[in-house]
Amino acid sequence: MPTMDHPLRHSPADTPDAAARRDGDKVSVAATKLTPSSTSYAMAKARTRWPLILHLLVLAAAEAASLSPPGPTPARWPERFHAVLFTNLTNHAMASTGPPLRITDLYYDWPRRRNLNLVRYQLAAEPLYDVEWDNGTTFYFDSSSCRTEQFPVGVLRPGWLSDGGGIYLGRRLTGGIECHVWNKGDFIVYFEDVATGRPVRWNFLDATGIEQFVMSFEVGVELEDSEWQAPAHCFPVNDDDQREEMQERRRRKSNSEHINGIDDDGLQAAKLLRKLAAVLN
């Protein structure tokens, strides 16, 4: 009589040893999926690790920037000073049609809100006066010529650079002098002596590209009032006076053609501080 296997009895294929091997294979597969040495596990960990690393790098960069020393503070201009400036316009045709070499005596008088450039061209018989007042009026004159011009800004203030807004460019050597260098308003590059805080040079970034070099700098020097006064031929009273003035100019021709009948090109270098004040206003 044939016998029937009991439902609870293991078949030969399902012996205890086989079941153990089968269960071991399942555990092995599961362990392979979860083990730290598996590729999928490493990729999963990398995906969670990179945002953290990037975050730490950003924090480190921000901390390094905050710890870097700030640039030095520019020296404030003295309220009164006399500076001798040298300008060479040999390679700057846009700046002047006159002789390219010139020496300028700059008298800065902030308490009286005035500024004077006494421009001496090479071998010129007399200087050109550029007298600037805080109400925007500027007089350009010599002994026989005069021109008046009105600007929308006053005299450049002493704190035009020290009050902030300049971009520190680092240290540079110019003329053998180690200088701090700033850019202000993308209009001027200003060089200041590291040792003394005195201005050494300034380069203008406009179309003229004029560079001026400070040959001497005296603090507290004040020019007598008579030197600031525009001459009578700058103030014609009426049309008759204007006609007489024109006749007088023809009779008294200036010894320097670039000063007589002062033109725009010849005044570009003299207008620089006014232009700077306008840019920073």
What pLDDT does 254 receive? 41
Ordered DSSP codes for 14-48: G-HHHHHHHHHHHHHHHHHHH-TTSHHHHHHHHHH
What pLDDT does 236 receive? 77
For residues 50-74, give the mean pLDDT.
65
What pLDDT does 59 receive? 67
Could you tell me the two tokens for 51? 């945002």
Query: Model-level pTM?
Result: 0.68
Position with higher pLDDT, 38 vs 231: 231
Position with higher pLDDT, 130 vs 268: 130
What pLDDT does 256 receive? 39
The answer on pLDDT for 96 being more than 60 is no
Position with higher pLDDT, 256 vs 62: 62
pLDDT tens for 164-184 read 999 999 999 999 999 999 999
Yes or no: say if 115 and 156 are a contact pair by the CB < 8 Å rule.
yes
What pLDDT does 231 receive? 93
DSSP 182: E
What is the residue-averaged pLDDT of the chain?
A: 78
